[in-house]
Amino acid sequence: MRISDRRRLISLYLAESWRRTGLAISLALPVVSGRAGFRAMRLVVAPTDLRAIDPFVAEEIFQGRYPLAGRVLDADQQSPFDLELPSQQFAVRLHGFGWLRHIRADKSHAACENARWVVDQWIHLHGGRVTGVAWDADVVAQRIVAWLSHSPVVLQDADAGFYRRFMASLSYQIGYLHRIAGYLPEGLPRLRARIALAMASISTEARASAIRRAGRQLNRELERQILPDGSHVSRNPQAAVELLFDLLPLRQTYINLGHDVPQRLIPAIDRMYPAVRFFRHSSGDLALFNGASSTLATDLMSVLRYDETAGQPFKALPHAAYQRLSGGDTVLLLDTGHAPSGSLSRTAHAGCLSLELSSGRNRFIVNSGSPRFAGEKLRQLARTTAAHSTVAIGDMSSARISSSGFLGPLLVAGVAKVEISRQTGPDGSDRLSASHDGYLARFGVLHEREVRINEGGTKIAGRDRFLLPEGLPAPGIPSEPAIARFHIHPAISLERIDERRVRLIAPDGESWVFSLPVGEVEIAEDIFFADVSGVRPSQQLEIAFHGPEIRWFLAHHA
């Protein structure tokens, strides 16, 4: 390990120790309801939930079956909180109460009474014990937002006793989250906590000073986490969509109630929309980089309908370090950055210089993505370089995933420097060349990828090669086998033409031919982690290096 990497690890250990010590001290003190300035004795407003609702889920829950996180729990009229839950992800969804939104599809007295009974069961079994997944900070933040947003459903025809229990529990959860929010790890959990607290400050009775303080704390977190180009600091394309689901109702609630909107809120939203459009393929789907998984089309459209920024997608996101090449109906997206620092890299992927290709209504070449509901083993497998459409040397990734139980699965000892060059040719073609040093310490070479697309978007030329540290072409191949992988979306079928050519065929008949001037294209089995329905089998193209470089081409066939 390099000296700089050792120093970085020491710094991370010290920072994590300090954070955990502060959190432990905070948790040791009793939570006092109303400490954050929220009396929470009365609800003022129920913020809107923009997420899609499903009448089928509403009916299943009414019948005592909970279809969450890819699993179904049949409670058989028992409290779901009395039963062993199918998975960690299921527990997060159940305790987060986001499923309450589906009850809006059936606001009958019986459906609302059932939802109220489930909430009351949670208060009885978990409301007084700050332990387990129910009190993970991110789950608490989700539950606060869900209870506020869907209070009309839960409180419909409720008696005074339940109302008092509901408000007392809500007040306690707000106080708990307020106490620990400053000690949460960097990234989405901390920002979601600040969003939940800001939403609670204006949705319940709160002192004016508490509303202002929650707004200032939200401002600071938005400033830290939403980059100038609108992307999230985690570099996950899906993060902006998830955040907009809460930030849009928060903005509207501030406006509707006549409160001063936090200074950073509206500019952050306005910056995020172009970033969402940047990552959107021609098919309408979001790219699968750095922890992104499938995004439901209904969810994406629910967010995009509020896009007031309009305009064409940017060619690059300079702060998040992504590049977009397009021509006609063809879109190429490339990751040209390194992992974020510190705890932010816990969900980052070792996918530097990976690319995705879409054309028309179809995604052809993708990254494997992150599984929505799978266990930790598959989640970590999805982070490796081999799970991305780029070059890997041996069985090693361009960044090492830490095995430290204390720090968590951070990306360490990886890409530190990425060089990028981009030009537009006289014929309207767009050319990008980028290199990274993720394999330099172990194999003494840089990986350079060059991609060129013509103006019409019908021809793509690519080259992957190894360079010496000074930028000269490497005289040979690395000491371990090097393979360029191109992961194919599971909806695409492959047809071998000959050893150097493979046809990629979409369900609507659109096709591309992948070809090599020399060498052989191997078709191998693959796993697509990011399907809406769960992990799916798929295929990939593999090209082995027999010299310091390979060239490859893609040609569109209508």
DSSP string for 375-428: -HHHHHHTTSGGGSSSEEETTB-SSEEP--TTT-S-EES----EEEEEEE-TTS
pLDDT of residue 412: 78
Nearest one of 189, 303, 311, 287 to 238, comparing CA atoms: 287
Residue 499 CA to chain centroid, in angstroms? 37
Residues in the chain where the model's pLDDT stays below 50: none
pLDDT digits (tens, 9 = 90+) for 324-346: 999 999 999 999 998 888 778 88
pLDDT of residue 313: 85
C-alpha distance from residue 191 to each of 217, 240, 403 (Å): 9, 12, 26
Residues 22-47 as b/e (b if ≥16 CB within 10 A, e otherwise) read: ebeeeeeeebebbbbbbebeebeebb
pLDDT of residue 65: 94
DSSP classification of residue 344: G
Q: Which helix (H) or strand (E) holds 468?
A: none
pLDDT of residue 206: 83
Q: In what order do the strands lie in the sheet with 430-436?
A: 418-424, 430-436, 446-453, 459-467, 549-557, 511-515, 501-505, 493-498
pLDDT of residue 41: 66
pLDDT digits (tens, 9 = 90+) for 381-420: 999 999 999 999 998 999 888 877 777 788 877 899 999 9
For residues 231 and 275, the answer to whether their CB atoms sit within 8 Å is yes
Nearest one of 378, 396, 370, 382 to 483, comparing CA atoms: 396
pLDDT digits (tens, 9 = 90+) for 129-172: 888 999 999 999 999 999 999 999 999 999 999 999 999 999 99
